[in-house]
Amino acid sequence: MHGSLSAAWLLVALCAATGVYCLLRLRSAVEEQRRTAGGEALMGFGMALMAVPAAVLTPPRWAWLLYAVVFGGAALRALWASRTAPGHHLHHLVGTFAMAYMALAMAVRPAAHAHHGGAGAPLLTGLLLVYFTAYVLWTGARVAPLAAASQGASPGGAVWAGWGDRPELARACRLSMGIGMLAMLLAM
């Protein structure tokens, strides 16, 4: 990732924290939380790795190709899963495709341009920016009402709910990853 060093480290921290929370969701009693948590943890940790400032670590070309293969495989898995439950899996498909696309753009970028913007196809990057902007706005508008509703649901309800069973936290993590994806696409 390119841009401000402090912003890049904040993005690394945000994405890594999101990945950790998604790992906690793997222990949820709610099947839907467990089903999506693994893919979201992969996205969070992958985004954290990709956001490490280029001034600190410039991965070799083969590492970007490895990222592209991993996220391409995750995109195929999301495509397969979307046959039966299209809603959330289609967002995973777009997210994993975007990660594979960014990794490929970095892999084919000439070494002389390794620290400058301009990677990727402008039209595809623009379409992904429009999608993730809409997703962030839509999800952000849905986080606040969900958090308020869960707090007033029952006395002590928030205390007894497991960390992996908190839909407002899961949605906040998805919102964080969407914001991170926007930042990464803008920095390309």
62-80, pLDDT tens digit by residue? Answer: 999 999 999 999 999 989 8
pLDDT digits (tens, 9 = 90+) for 112-133: 454 445 667 889 999 999 999 9
Between 102 and 2, where is the model more confident?
A: 102
With a cut of 50, say whether residue 157 has pLDDT above it.
Answer: no
H-state helical runs in the chain: 5-25, 31-51, 61-81, 86-108, 122-151, 157-160, 167-187
Tokens 């999101």 belong to 18
Average pLDDT, the chain: 83
Confidence at residue 146, expressed as pLDDT on a 0 to 100 scale: 53
